[in-house]
Structure 1
Amino acid sequence: MSNRLNEKSKQIRDNRLTRRQFVATAGAAIAAPTIVPSSVFGANAPSNRINVALIGCGNQSRADLPSMLRQPDAQVVAVCDVNKGSHGYARPEHFLGREPAQKRVNDYYAGKTRSGTYNGCDAYSDFRDVLARDDVDAVMIVLPDHWHALATIKACEAGKDVYCQKPMSLTIHDGQQMIKAVRKHNRILQTGSQYRSNAVVRRMCELVRNGRIGEVKRAVSIINGSGAGPGPGWKEMPVPDGFDYDMWLGPAPEAPYHIDRCFYRFRFHLDYSGGQVTNTGAHSTDIVQWALGKDDTGPVEFEDQEGIVWPPEGHLYTTAMKSHFRARYADGTEFVCRTQKPGFGARIEGTEGWVQFSVNNMKEVEASSDAIKNSVIGPDEIHLPVSRNHYQNFLQSVKTRKDPIEPVEAGHRTASICHLGNIAMRLKRKLKWDPDQEVFLNDDEANQMLQRPYREPWKI
C-alpha cells in the first residue's frame, strides 16, 4: 500500500493550515464547555481557575493529564490528538488518543459532581481548533518533538501560556524561535523537565553550588539505550482507521507509515527526535545544567567518543542505540553523556568528592562521603528555587506572570547540549561551539545541521 500524498490530500492539508487563521474568526463559533460547580472547588471558583487544554494524548499524557487534573486551580476543558484512539504506545495494554483522554477528563470531573455526570471536555483532532478558543488560557504540548516549536509559537501568538514537554525543541533554530515567540508575546513557558521540582535533585544541586564537592571538574549525564526496533527489511504498514498520519507528520518529511515510526517510538527517528540523548538525556543533562549554574550558556567544545552504536543500514530507527559524547565548558569543566545501565541520572565530580542522582534511588542524594551527603546548607548560602510540583509551579507562573522554575531559555540550553552532542556523534569529529552566538566555529557542514527544512505548507 502506498501513502504518497495525492492532490486531494494535499488540498485538505492546505485547507487545514488556513482554517480560522489561528484564532482570527473562530472565538464565537465554538461553544464553551460546562464548568464544574464552584462548590466542588471551594476557594478555587471557576473565575479563579485556569482553563487548560491538552495537545497530544499519547504516552506522556498518562502522567501529564492526571497531574493537571489534580490541580485545584486548573480545569481541563479540551484535549487534542490526531489519533482517535488505539494501542501501540509504550506498553501493549495502553489504549491512548483523544477519545480515551476525553473520557478520562469527563470521568474525573464526574466523580466530583453531585449528579455523577460531566461532559464538558471537548476533543479535537487539529490543535488549531484548540488555539481558536477564547476560553483556553494555557496549553500542555505533549506532542512528538518535531511539533514542539510550531505548536508553541502558534500558541504564543494566540495568547496562550505553554507547558511544553522536554526536550523543548528538535533543533537549535527551533529553540531560538520559541524563545522569541515567548518573549515577544509575553507568555509563560514551562519546560517539562520535572526533576527541577524534585527535592532530592534540588538538594544535590545545592551541594554542588555551595562547594561541598570542591571545585567541579567533571559532570556525567547518564542515559538509557534504545530498543532493537524493526531491522532491515521492514515493511510499510496500512495507516490505522482514526489516525491522521499526514497531520502527525506535519512539518517532517513525507515517509511510509509504520507503527514504530509513530506513537512512543517516534523518539528513535532523527526526523522527529534525537533518541535517548534527547529523551532521558534531556532530564539528566538538565540536572547537570542546574547544578553547574549554566542555564544561560553551554559547552564550547563537543566530540564523539568510543562505544557509539548506530542501527544497521536499512533499519527503521535512525538515532544512536548507544550514545557517548564529550563536551567542555569554557571554565574547563568536562561534560560526558553516555549510555549506561541501569536507569538514567546525573553525577557531578569535584576536587573533594562527588554527588549523584539516579532514578533508581529517588529518596536521597548519593555522595562520596557522609560528610557531603549530610551537610547542612546554611541560611546565607545558595538556595535554589523551591518547586514541589512542576504543574503547580507552571500554574503559579501563569497567575503571577513570573518565570517558572524551567523557563524557555533554560529549556533551550539543555536541549541544545543534546542536539549538539548528536551532531558531534553523527559527524564523528571534534566541534568548536560559540554558546553566545550559537554557531559552530569554522564548520559550515555542522552549522547546516542547526536547522531543518519544514515540509510544505508548514512553516514558522
Structure 2
Amino acid sequence: MSKQLNSDTTPTGNVRLSRRKFVAAATAVVAAPTIVPSSVVGANAPSNRINVALIGCGNQSRVDLPSMLRQPDAQVVAVCDVNKGSDGYARPEHFLGREPAQKKVNDHYAEKTRSGQFKGCDAYADFRDVLARDDVDAVMIVLPDHWHALATVKACEAGKDVYCQKPMSLTIHDGQQMIKAVRKHGRILQTGSQYRSNAVVRRMCELVRNGRIGEVKRAISIINGSGAGPGPGWKEQPVPEGFDYDMWLGPAPEAPYHIYRCLYRFRFLQEYSGGQVTNTGAHATDIVQWALGKDHTGPVEFEHQPGIVWPPDGHLFTTAMKSHFRARYADGVEFVCRTQEPGFGARIEGTEGWVQFSVNNMKEVEASSDAIKNSVIGADEIHLPVSTNHYRNFLDSIKSRKDPIEPVEAGHRTASICHLGNIAMRLERKLQWDPEQEVFVNDADANQMLRRPYRGPWQI
C-alpha cells in the first residue's frame, strides 16, 4: 500500500502522454507529495491507506465510486474514462464520464476539509496512464465487458489489485487469461458480483448447502429481457467531442459509431457483451453456483430451449431479447436460465422443498414452507464466508492477501456458464462440455466460439 498521498496534482485527462513522458512526470509528482490530512480520508495513517483508481466512469460507477469513497482506509486518487463527460447512459439525467467522476471525488473529500477545497483526484483518458502510477495500489475496472480481460491482465502486470465488474470476462479464453495473470503476479481480484455480500443470499445458500430442501434437483436463474435497439435503416452518428471512440472499441472489431452501441447499451451487442444472460444473469447464476458449491466447476451439458427471441434482422442489437437454455451438472442437477419479468433472481428446488431469492424481495428468503424458511443453521453445520459489504471485503483482502468472497476462479466459472449458454442458444443444439479441460467434446465449431481475436494492436 502507498505510504504517501498526493493532494494536488495536475489532471492529464485531455492529453495522451507517451509512456516515457508520463512515467517521468509521475515520478516528479510523487517525489514531492503533500500528505492529505486525516480529516479527508479518515484517521488511518497514510501507510495504511489504499490508493484506488476508478477505470470506467459509466453507469455502474454511480454505485461503485460512492461505495469506495465511503471506505475510511481508501482514497480514490484517479479516475479514467474515454468519455470526457456526457449524458446518454441508462437514464437521461445521468451525466457521466471522467470529469463528472473527478468532480464527485474532489467534492466528496472537499466536504471533509476546513477549506472546503480538494483537488487530489486526477482524470485520465487512457487506463495505461493510471497503471503507470506507482502510488496506485488497486483499480476498479468498471468497463464494458470486452475490456475486462485486457485491463485486468495489464493491471496485474503493473502490480495492482483488481475489483472487476461482472461478468468477469467476455469469453472463456479471456477468463482463463485473467486467472493466470492474477495467480502469476500474486494479486487480489474481487469479482463485482455483490450479491455474495448480501445476507439474504448467504442465508438461502446455507439452507441449500445444509440439506434443508433435501437433495437438490434443479436450479433456476431468472433474468430480465431486453429490446431490439434501433431498427433497420439506423444510421452512423458523428462521434461526440471528448469521446475517444477508437479507444472505446479497443480490442473489438471496427464498427460505425452509434450512441446505442456504447455507454450503457453496449451489453446488447455480442461484440462487447452477452445480453441479459451476462448482465442480470451473471448475478442470478452466481447465486446458483454459490448455493451448489460449484465455484471450481460447471455443468457438463448445455442445450437451447423453446422461447428464445432474437432481434429482427437489421436492428442494431444482436443479443437475445428473451433467453432460455438448460444445462446439467455431472451430479445430475439441472440448471435452467430463462427470461421472466419482472426482476431477476435464483431458485433452488429439492426433494423436500425449494428456496428462492428475488430482487423484488430483498428482505427475506422465499421458501416452500415456514419450516425451511425459519430453520436454524447449527454451529457445527456449513457456514459460508460472511461479507456485508463487497468493497470492504475487497479492501480487507488487499490487506490480508487472502482471497475475497468472489475470487477470480469463482467469477470465471459463473461467467463461463453464461457464455456457454449463449453459445448453445446460437448453435441451437445440445453441447457436451468438459469443465476440467474447458472444451466442448467433439465440436470444433463450438470450440471456435470460446475465444475471439483481438483487434490490433491490443493483445494479452
TM-score with structure 1 length normalisation?
0.94
Q: Does 1:310 align with 2:310?
A: yes
- Are 1:172 and 1:419, in contact at CA under 8 Å, matched by a contact in 2? yes
Q: Deviations over 1:184-216 (max 9, x none)?
A: 000000000000000000000000000000000
2:150 alignment partner in structure 1: 150
CA pair 124-40 structure 1, distance change in 2 beyond 3 A = closer
Aligned to 2:417: 417
Q: Deviations over 1:316-340 (max 9, x none)?
A: 0010000000000000000000000
State the percentage of identical aligned residues.
Answer: 88
- CA shift at 1:45, angstroms? 2.3
| Residue 88 (structure 1) aligns with | 88
Matching residue of 1:140: 140
CA distance in 2, matches of 1:322, 1:197: 28
C-alpha separation in 2, matches of 1:391 and 1:265 = 25
Flag the 1:33–1:219 CA change in 2: closer, same or farther, 3 A. Answer: farther
Q: Where does residue 3 of structure 1 map in the other structure? A: none
2-side partners of 1:414 and 1:137: how far apart? Answer: 27
Work out whether 1:107 is the aligned partner of 2:107. yes
Contact 1:385 1:405 in 2 (8 A): yes
| Corresponding position of 2:349 | 349
Task: Give the AA of the match of 2:278.
Answer: T
Amino acid at match of 1:20: R
**Equivalent position SS for 2:260:** helix
Q: 1:339 is matched with which residue?
A: 339
Return 31-40 or 420-429, whichever deviates more: 31-40
Which whole-Å deviations, capped at 9, do the CAs of 1:37-65 have from their partners, x for residues lacking one? 12445531222110000000000000000
Aligned equivalents of 1:159 and 1:34: distance in 2?
A: 23
- Aligned residues of 1:33 and 1:121 also touching (Cα < 8 A): no
Give the gaps of 5 or more residues in structure 1.
Answer: 1-14
1:315-330 matches, within 5 Å, as: 315-330=315-330
Residue aligned with 1:426, SS: helix
CA contact (8 A) 2:23 2:133 kept: no
Unpaired runs of 5+ residues, structure 2, are 1-14
Partner of 1:10: none
1:36-435 to 2 correspondences below 5 Å:
36-435=36-435
Task: Note closer, same or farther for the CA distance 1:228–1:42 as it changes in structure 2 (3 Å cut).
Answer: closer
- Taking a change above 3 Å as real, the CA distance of residues 402 and 291 of structure 1, as seen in their structure-2 partners, is same
Over the residues paired in the alignment, what is the CA RMSD in angstroms? 1.6
What is the letter of the counterpart of residue 194 of structure 2?
Q
How far 1:33 sits from its partner (Å)?
7.1
Distance 2:393 2:33 in 1: 25
What SS class does the counterpart of residue 261 from structure 1 fall into? coil
SS in 2 for 1:162: strand
Distance 1:398 1:85 in 2: 31
Q: 1:42 to 1:96 in 2, by over 3 A?
A: closer
Distance 2:106 2:97 in 1: 14
Aligned length: 445
Residues 416/351 of structure 1: CA separation in 2 closer, same or farther (3 Å cut): same
Q: Is the 8 A contact 2:57 2:142 kept in 1?
A: yes
Provide the C-alpha distance between the structure 2 equivalents of 1:36 and 1:314, rounded to a whole number of angstroms.
54
Q: Secondary structure at the match of 2:343?
A: coil
Tell me, yes or no, if the aligned pair for 2:39 and 2:112 is still in contact at 8 Å: no
Distance 1:256 1:153 in 2: 28
Shift of 1:19: 4.0
Do the aligned partners of 2:300 and 2:433 also contact (CA within 8 Å) in 1? yes
- Report what 1:5 is aligned to: none
The DSSP-based 3-state class of the residue aligned with 1:123 is strand
Q: Give the conservation status (yes or no) of the 8 Å contact 1:300–1:432.
A: yes
8 Å contact kept, 2:52–2:138: yes
Distance 1:438 1:316, change over 3 A: same
Structure 1: distance between partners of 2:334 and 2:157: 39
Q: Which residue of 1 aligns with 2:8?
A: none
**Deviations along 1:259-310, whole A, 9 cap, x unmatched?**
0000000000000000000000000000000000000000000000000000
The CA deviation string for residues 222-248 of structure 1, in whole angstroms up to 9 with x for no partner, is: 000012310111110000000000000
Q: Is the 8 A contact 1:34 1:119 kept in 2?
A: no
Look up the match of 1:447.
Answer: 447
- 1:192 corresponds to which letter in structure 2? G
Q: Is the contact made by 2:327 and 2:336 (CA closer than 8 Å) also made in structure 1? A: yes
Rounded to whole Å, the distance in 2 between the matches of 1:43 and 1:325 is: 51
What CA distance in whole angstroms lies between the structure 1 residues aligned with 2:216 and 2:21?
48
Give me the whole-angstrom Cα distance separating, in 1, the residues matched to 2:419 and 2:410: 14
Deviation of 1:116 (Å): 0.6
Q: Is the 8 A contact 2:41 2:74 kept in 1?
A: no
Partner of 1:20: 19
- Report if aligned partners of 2:228, 2:315 keep a CA contact under 8 Å in 1: no
Using the TM superposition, give the Cα deviation of residue 381 of structure 1 relative to its aligned residue in structure 2, in angstroms. Answer: 0.1
Query: Using a 3 Å threshold, how does the CA distance of structure 1 residues 220 and 402 change in structure 2: closer, same or farther?
Result: same
Structure 1 residues 23 and 99: CA distance shift in structure 2, 3 A: closer
TM-superposed CA distance for 1:20, in Å, is 1.9
Q: C-alpha offsets along residues 157-180 of structure 1, whole Å, 9 cap, x if unaligned?
A: 000000000000000000000000
Deviation at 1:35, TM superposition (A): 4.7
Tell me the distance in 2 between the aligned counterparts of 1:82 and 1:394: 26
User: Does the 8 A contact of 1:22 with 1:132 survive in 2?
Assistant: no
How far the C-alpha of 1:22 sits from its partner, in A, is 12
Please give the alpha-carbon distance, in whole angstroms, between the structure 1 residues aligned to 2:29 and 2:91: 35
On the 8 A contact 1:26/1:133 being kept in 2, the answer is no
Cα distance between partner residues in 2 of 1:179 and 1:269 = 25
TM-score (norm 2): 0.94
- The one-character-per-residue Cα deviations of 1:418-456 (angstroms, maximum 9, x if unpaired) are 000000000000000000000000000000000000001
Write the distance in 2 (CA, Å) between the matches of 1:315 and 1:240.
Answer: 22
Contact 1:191–1:407 (CA<8 Å) still a contact in 2? yes
Q: What is the one-letter code of the residue matched to 1:38? A: S
